[in-house]
Amino acid sequence: MNNQDKLQQLIDLRIKAREAGGEKRIAAQHAKGKYTARERIEMILDEGSFEEYDMFVTHRTTDFGMADQVYLGDGVITGHGTIDGRIVYIFSQDFTVFGGSLSETFAQKICKVMDQAMKVGAPLIGINDSGGARIQEGVRSLAGYAEIFQRNIMASGVIPQISAVFGPCAGGAVYSPALTDCIIMSDKTSYMFVTGPKVAKTVTGETITEEDLGGATVHATKSGVAHFRADDEDEGILLIRKVLEYLPQNNLEEPIVTECSDPIDRRDDKLNEIIPDSANTPYDVKDIIYTIVDDSEFLEFHRHFAKNMVVGFAKFNGQPAGIVANQPNFLAGVLDIDASRKAARFVRLCDSFNVPIITLVDVPGFLPGSGQEYGGIIIHGAKLLFAYGEATVPKITITLRKSYGGAHDVMGSKQLRADINYAWPSAEIAVMGAKGAIEVLEGRKIRSIENPDEAAKYAAQKEEEYRVKFANPYEAARYGYIDDVIEPRNTRFRIIRALQTLANKKEALPPKKHSNIPL
């Protein structure tokens, strides 16, 4: 074979590898509203930037007729490329080859790019579209999953890991995305569950569809497993690129500051009037967020889950930051199990990758009731408390209105090492609201007054005394727990000034193997 023949052989093999499972299976993939593994990579990465690894890898199994079914690449496409000129590593499971099932060599390909991503300190993107373990390989397939899981764990907090679920992801396969920083699911074409509908029917008698058991809507609204529910793969791919815009390449770098044309001293007078006069009247905290961030652009995580808490990325004068905010428009912004988990996870994501945290507080307390107590609100609330207290990134907290009881401590208080704590004039920082406080302090005396009108008058008088004392930010400011009371319309400027001041902040944790966060 001369050199020309060898070159032609290479070209033919590359063509064969790109054919994946063949035209028929590719057409079936498209018919489901799904892109192929290669199409997804091409759409995610900058044009012409993809460098593929292991195109010629094949499986090594001969049992159950597998010797006659050999595909170049063995069902997963791996390599590296760039997004906005920044290097990323990527793997994309190919459902047209053995249903994207994971074999020993399939896992080895993924592990190789994971190892490379760690070596060079670059983000890892995983696109999941797989029927699960390749049954013909038995324990070798299971070992392959565990090898991937171990690398997910070692990479956690070192490089950003983004998972897109654009098809099935079931059984042990779900734990790789679960170990990563962000999960994006495509609506109607993806699902995740540990055990499927057939097993559920056999074991528990429950009849349920794949969509109702583990579809994108379920995980975006009920379980909180998915951070984003994309309408389709096109939106999911845009979200992958968008999330990475706010994160650095690795934990030793800072997020990239971009140019900003939105004036840092822009004021919006509507902020001075956005808090209702009545402390019990709701408002939408997102109206505040969109007003103070650059160009009204806010990338919200978990939009459909635990709506009493709002978290996501934004920029202030081009500086990426994470925002954590109570949402008075839903359950009065109360802290419950799901809201605590949601915010704690996001705070730890920001802290892992040097993203400052901006906290907007309007919280009446923790949600009471046996459902919350039996569900472990103590432990879940402690997760958020722990996350704030452990975080060493710049932390700026602004109290908008209510900040009551233990929830005040949890939401980025000065005692949890927040760097700068501001408050609006409408802030109320106290152990509880006036009515509840007077019931505790004066309840016995009020009940001892025989005349109902006199009793009501006395209660109202005491409640007013309490409001004068605590329904303002100045008592906290008097003790230095609030650094300044600011005019609401100046909030954007004060945040940007604070971020500039804290740019070189250094804060270390005590030497330890790792924390034992309440789980």
Q: Which two tokens stand for residue 88?
A: 């990323």
The residue type found at 95 is F
Output phi, psi for 324, to 5 deg: -125, 125
Active-site residue, 407 included: yes
Exactly one of 339, 407, 459, 498 is catalytic; name it.
Answer: 407
Active-site residue, 172 included: yes
H/E stretch holding 191: strand 191-193
One-character DSSP codes across 251-303: TTSPPPP----S-TT---GGGGG-S-SSTT----HHHHHHHHSGGG-EEEEST
Task: Return d(Cα 376, Cα 392) in angstroms, integer.
Answer: 27
Contact 398, 491 (CB under 8 A): yes
Active-site residue, 171 included: yes
Active-site residue, 79 included: no
**3-state class of 299 per DSSP?**
strand
Contact 294, 323 (CB under 8 A): no
Q: Which two tokens stand for residue 129?
A: 């579209």
Exactly one of 121, 172, 318, 376 is catalytic; name it.
Answer: 172
Contact 73, 105 (CB under 8 A): no
Treating both helix axes as pointing N-terminal to C-terminal, what angle do 233-245 and 37-44 enclose, rounded to 10 degrees? 40
Exactly one of 28, 332, 406, 455 is catalytic; name it.
Answer: 406
Q: Nearest Cα to 152, choosing from 111, 108, 106?
A: 111
Task: Return d(Cα 163, Cα 270) in angstroms, integer.
Answer: 39
Exactly one of 99, 171, 236, 412 is catalytic; name it.
Answer: 171
Output phi, psi for 395, to 5 deg: -125, 120
Q: Which positions are catalytic?
A: 171-172, 406-407
